Chain A
Amino acid sequence: MPMPITLKLYAFLSDYLPAEARRSNAVVLDVPDQTTVAALIATWALPPRLVHLVLLNGEFIPPQARAERALIAGDVLAIWPPIAGG
């Protein structure tokens, strides 16, 4: 059963969004049940060096957990390249 989730890509990763989604940095997707965080990242062919900060509903998902963590309907997955500020 496909389920809706929201994918948000920021900073340099904005370029990987469809043009119409870049002004919101977000796109709503239907993904297959049991899709993991890592699988979704792979589907979008995001360069590994740009996949740094991965937040699922605001919670950081460490690299080693991304292949196990399955998405559920309504999830918001937000990804940034290496960034900092202050």
Chain B
Amino acid sequence: MAWTRKILRINLTQGSCSSEALNMEWAAQYLGQRGLASKYLVSEIDPKVDPLSPENKIIYATGPLTGTMASTGGRYSVVTKGPLTGVIACSNSGGFFGAELKFAGWDMIIVEGRSPTPVYLHIENDLAELLPADDLWGSTVWSTEATLKKRHQDPLLRVSSIGRAGENQVLFAAIVNDLHRAAGRSGVGAVMGSKNLKAIAVRGTRGVGNIADAKAFMAAATAGKKVLAENAVTGQGLPTYGTQVLMNVINEMGALPTRNHRDVEFEGARKISAEAMHEKRATDGRAHLVANQACFGCTIACGRISRIDETHFSVETKPEYWGASGGLEYEAAWALGSANGVDDLEALQFANLLCNEDGMDPISFGATVGAVMELYDLGILSKEEIGLEVPFGSAEALCKLAEMTARGEGFGKILGQGSKRLCAKYGKPELSMTVKGQEFPAYDGRALQGMGLAYATSNRGACHLRGYMVSSEVFGIPVKTDPRETTGKPEMLKAFQDATAVVDSSGLCVFTTFAWTMNDIQPQIQAACEGDWSQDALLQMGERIWNLERDFNLAAGITGKDDTLPPRLLNEPCKTGGSKGMVAEIGKMLPEYYSLRGWTPEGVPTAATRSRLGL
């Protein structure tokens, strides 16, 4: 088996660290990472718990393939009840932290309670200790990582931490590891902050050697890498252009949400695209993009490392930002750019750097700025209330608001509550571009009908990573479908959602599925893990995970009425482009989706469905 079979349980109230055996009966049903951590969470907390109270728990979980030789096998997930959404939160991160945790001999860490004073968790193989973090409180992610490596005299220490946003309970605060990889969504960083837990620093030296059938695993992993290398998307497109290649594609389709979803085409899209990142700047003759970067074990290497223009207004007096650093990825570039009408690539990079440095989800931050700009445009928010002018398109406003939000200054405290609460506060809840309290990512649910259904039904609120229908509706992977069509989308979405839950529970990256099918993934899991991991068993497990999450969310208080989209997407047709005239046709798809899921017309899993899935 590829599990270490060990859980590290941290009780912050008591200040205790203890080791316990992994529940292998659950591992056989939920594999690891997202699935297994969700099983532990729903078994240990009251679904109605206040997410920022000591009664909530937060789990850092690896998958059985994390730390192995499988390509992209470096993922870990953070699972908790999300403060932004009030439903289950599961945020997935790459980098090197997850593999290091596995090397130290732990499948997952369960953190409970609340420390009376700031602490950080230090792990060195079997040794786990809570250490004072008073001196780290108030510092950024980047500063925290540097300080801990120096303090422990170990440059190979891997650190996962929060910045000031998490400390200040920004509801979309992220947990950041390896400087610019993040468990970004749903406010998991605010939960960590509520517990006075600043960081987890881990060093493992044991590797992952306990593979069920090592020879078969090596063969399957090698075959998988060959598929990735020979595929045009994972072997060439993503390494060269990264996810940012989508900016012009989605814009050309009339599916790029712009100015808080008022428009679906952005006139400045080209200026903030992957193609622009490759070009030499007029100011210094350098390209924005420096290199691509891979997470642990990844043979795709989609990550972007960029260098900001030193003469740009945002950093001209701040040399600490002049070095190469992470960004821009597509979702962040969209949220910071198109969502606000900002076409200044360097300003987007600066705001992105601040999100990484102080631990904020750039999607939710940028999308909330879009709501602020619309409220300002309508005269509902004033310069006096915000402290500055914030018209759509203002790069200066974007940069200033990023600083204010990360540091909890002035209006930044209100912005840090996210779009839903902000729009409600100012009497315009309909202007919040959210589902279940979480802001949309970078695809308009009117232009891509399947994606609209994916947003409405996602178990963690609006999200592209729970069922990436864009893959079919735009890229043609695995098959091309018409983005304007609703027929067949519920069935395809269910298949995407269940398969994604499998990948998210394995330790692998979902980007592999641009090239891999279950025919490539299943042999790797089967060889690594004891037990029956046939494709049928895996896909049923994915369905089990989806229903487990749904049951938790229903118990937390949501109903089928929450499986919807903002009125703007349901009632205001796209104004231009290939999607002109379209609205999101959720009502045509949701009943069929519920039926395919084995749920009642109200969206509740039936007793027969629960029984079939062993829930």
Which residues in A have some Cβ–Cβ distance to B below 8 Å?
A: 8, 10-12, 14, 22-25, 49, 52-53, 55, 57-60, 62, 76, 78, 80-86
Q: With A58-B254, A78-B248, A84-B511 given, name 15 new contacts (CB 8 A).
A: A10-B249, A12-B236, A12-B240, A14-B275, A22-B279, A25-B275, A52-B232, A55-B578, A76-B252, A81-B236, A82-B236, A83-B246, A85-B246, A85-B330, A86-B243
Chain B, interface SS category: helix
Inter-chain contact count A-B, CB under 8 Å?
A: 94
Closest to A14 in B: B275
A84-B248 in contact given A11-B274, A58-B579, A62-B480 (Cβ < 8 Å): no
Choose from B240, B302, B514, B578 the contact partner of A57 (Cβ within 8 Å). B578
Nearest first, the 6 closest Cβ-Cβ pairs linking A and B are A58-B578, A85-B243, A82-B232, A85-B246, A83-B237, A84-B514
Chain A, interface SS category: loop
Q: Do B237 and A84 touch (CB < 8 A)?
A: yes
User: What is the total number of residues of chain B having a CB less than 8 Å from a CB of chain A?
Assistant: 42
**For B241, what are the chain A residues with a Cβ–Cβ distance below 8 Å?**
11, 83
Q: Do B249 and A86 touch (CB < 8 A)?
A: no
Q: Quick one: which of B463-509 are within 8 Å of A by CB?
A: 464-465, 468, 470-471, 474-477, 480, 482-483
- What is the CB-to-nearest-CB distance from B137 to chain A, in angstroms, rounded to a whole number? 35
- What is the CB-to-nearest-CB distance from A14 to chain B, in angstroms, rounded to a whole number? 6
CA distance A60 to B474 in the complex (A): 8
- Chain B CB within 10 Å, residue with most, of A14, A23, A58: A58
Which residues in B have some Cβ–Cβ distance to A below 8 Å?
A: 232-233, 236-238, 240-246, 248-249, 252-254, 270, 274-275, 279, 302, 330-331, 464-465, 468, 470-471, 474-477, 480, 482-483, 510-511, 514, 577-579
Closest to B252 in A: A78
A86-B468 in contact given A12-B240, A53-B476, A58-B578 (Cβ < 8 Å): yes
**For A8, what are the chain B residues with a Cβ–Cβ distance below 8 Å?**
248, 252
- What is the CB-to-nearest-CB distance from A73 to chain B, in angstroms, rounded to a whole number? 18
Q: Do A58 and B253 touch (CB < 8 A)?
A: yes
CA distance A14 to B483 in the complex (A): 26
Q: Do B275 and A83 touch (CB < 8 A)?
A: no
Choose from A76, A80, A85 the contact partner of B238 (Cβ within 8 Å). A85
- Chain A CB within 10 Å, residue with most, of B248, B468, B471: B248
Contacts A/B (CB < 8 Å), 6 sampled: A11-B245, A52-B476, A53-B474, A76-B252, A83-B475, A84-B237
